[in-house]
Amino acid sequence: MKKVSPILLITLSNIGDAVLTTPVLYILCREFPKAAVDVMCGPRVKEIFSSISQVRRVIPYNKFDSFKDRVKLILSLRRRYDLVVDLRHTLIPLLIGSRNRTALWRRKSGERAYMKDVHLARLKQLGINTENADFLIEITDKDEKIAGNLLGPFKIEETLIAMAPGALSEVKRWPAGRFKETAEKLANELNAHIVLVGDKDDCRIADEIARGLPQKILNLCGKTSLMQLAAILRKTRLLITNDSAPMHLATAQKVPVISLFGPTNSIKYGPRGEHDRIIKKEIGCVPCEKAQCRFDNECLRSIESEEVVKAAAGILQAIK
């Protein structure tokens, strides 16, 4: 498969999941540098791929569109692509008549693996070299400038620590009170300045954490676009986070991460950087990977703020 063009990458819809697919895009752009590459994705992650200079076109796909609209979209793509890489495992590559395409079903080895590597395995099955794959996140000068303006009250040379207290599912959230305790200790013991990040759904939690520490906490929840959030994370020393979209955005930019894991699988989704730390409790039901918990989130409630502060201090010392 020496020469293929154009290429279509069908990626995932949730932000964190989509970030974990960017190494596939990285490899496609590296191995086929002259190929035009289009990306089909859900509306929530369009901003990630629209910012990447190697992407020719982003094709929005909304599973909630009418059947008629989805058929119309598929027909418009018929016989346009030499290669289709589908990370959603749909019939779309078959329906649009691609000459080269990933298999309809993912081969399961029975082993748990980092999802980045699971996605790259789809390329390996096509004989594409995936060695040294990296994440692919690009931030525009405009978003970089906006991020700098938002951080205006806090000098970059300060010990700037980001916290992401939200998560798509409530069962993946460390209690807001623990985040608050951690923020207070980091401010008092390490003279850190805290930046709270997240989307508008995290504002209530962030307000609760920020209350009482106005000089040490900057609350930016709900005040940034996705790529502005990425730009802010890049300017921080480390991120303390649940298993969430900001965790993956930070990982992709090699920002040190302290990730708090409960019901989800840290082997599949946890960060892998040299200075990253995963904090979880080895109790019998972890990871259950379920949307509801019968035990009142004991796995996350068992994590104490002292553990997180100690991990943060260790990372800050290591990256001096």
pLDDT at 108 over 70: no
pLDDT at 140 over 80: yes
pLDDT at 292 over 80: no
Distances (CA, A) of 156 to 105, 139, 221: 47, 18, 19
**Span 152-185, pLDDT tens digits:** 877 666 789 999 999 888 888 999 999 999 999 9
Residue of 176, 197, 172 whose CA lies nearest to 261: 172
40/70: higher pLDDT: 40
**Span 200-253, pLDDT tens digits:** 999 999 999 998 776 789 999 999 999 999 999 999 999 999 999 999 999 999
What's the pLDDT at 264?
87
pLDDT at 95 over 60: yes
pLDDT at 66 over 70: yes
pLDDT at 284 over 70: no
Residue of 172, 124, 144 whose CA lies nearest to 269: 172
Torsion of CA 308, 316, 200, 9, to 10 degrees: -110
The encoded tokens of residue 76 equal 């418009």
Q: What is the DSSP string of the chain?
A: -----SEEEE--SSHHHHHTTHHHHHHHHHHSTTS-EEEEE-GGGHHHHHT-TTEEEEEE--TTS-HHHHHHHHHHTTT--SEEEESS--SHHHHTT-SEE--SSPPP-SS---HHHHHHHHHHTTT---TT--------HHHHHHHHHHTTTS-TTS-EEEEE---SSGGGPPPHHHHHHHHHHHHHHS--EEEE---GGGHHHHHHHHTT-TTTEEE-TTSS-HHHHHHHHHTSSEEEEESSHHHHHHHHTT--EEEE-SSS-HHHHS---TT-EEE----TT-S---SS-SSTTHHHHT--HHHHHHHHHHHHHHT-
The encoded tokens of residue 296 equal 């009142």
Band the pLDDT of 110: cuts 50, 70, 90.
very low
**Span 6-25, pLDDT tens digits:** 999 999 999 999 999 999 99
Torsion of CA 282, 274, 305, 116, to 10 degrees: -60
What's the pLDDT at 224?
96
What's the pLDDT at 153?
77
Domains parsed from the chain with CATH numbers: 7-124 (3.40.50.2000), 141-318 (3.40.50.2000)
Residue of 162, 159, 314, 320 whose CA lies nearest to 250: 162
Task: Report the distance separating Cα 60 and Cα 42, nearest Å.
Answer: 6
Band the pLDDT of 298: cuts 50, 70, 90.
confident
Burial label, 22 (beta-carbon count in 10 A; 0-12, 13-18, 19+)? buried
Band the pLDDT of 137: cuts 50, 70, 90.
very high
What's the pLDDT at 288?
66
Q: The whole model's pTM is what?
A: 0.92
Task: Report the distance separating Cα 19 and Cα 249, nearest Å.
Answer: 7
**Span 72-81, pLDDT tens digits:** 999 999 989 9
Quickly count: other Cβ atoms within 10 Å of residue 309's Cβ. 22
Residue 217: strand pairing partners: 194
Task: Report the distance separating Cα 296 and Cα 152, nearest Å.
Answer: 39
What's the pLDDT at 238?
96
Indicate the range of 26-35, 58-67, 96-105 predicted with least confidence: 96-105
Task: Report the distance separating Cα 249 and Cα 231, nearest Å.
Answer: 9
Band the pLDDT of 98: cuts 50, 70, 90.
confident
Indicate the range of 107-111, 202-206, 271-275 predicted with least confidence: 107-111
What's the pLDDT at 37?
97
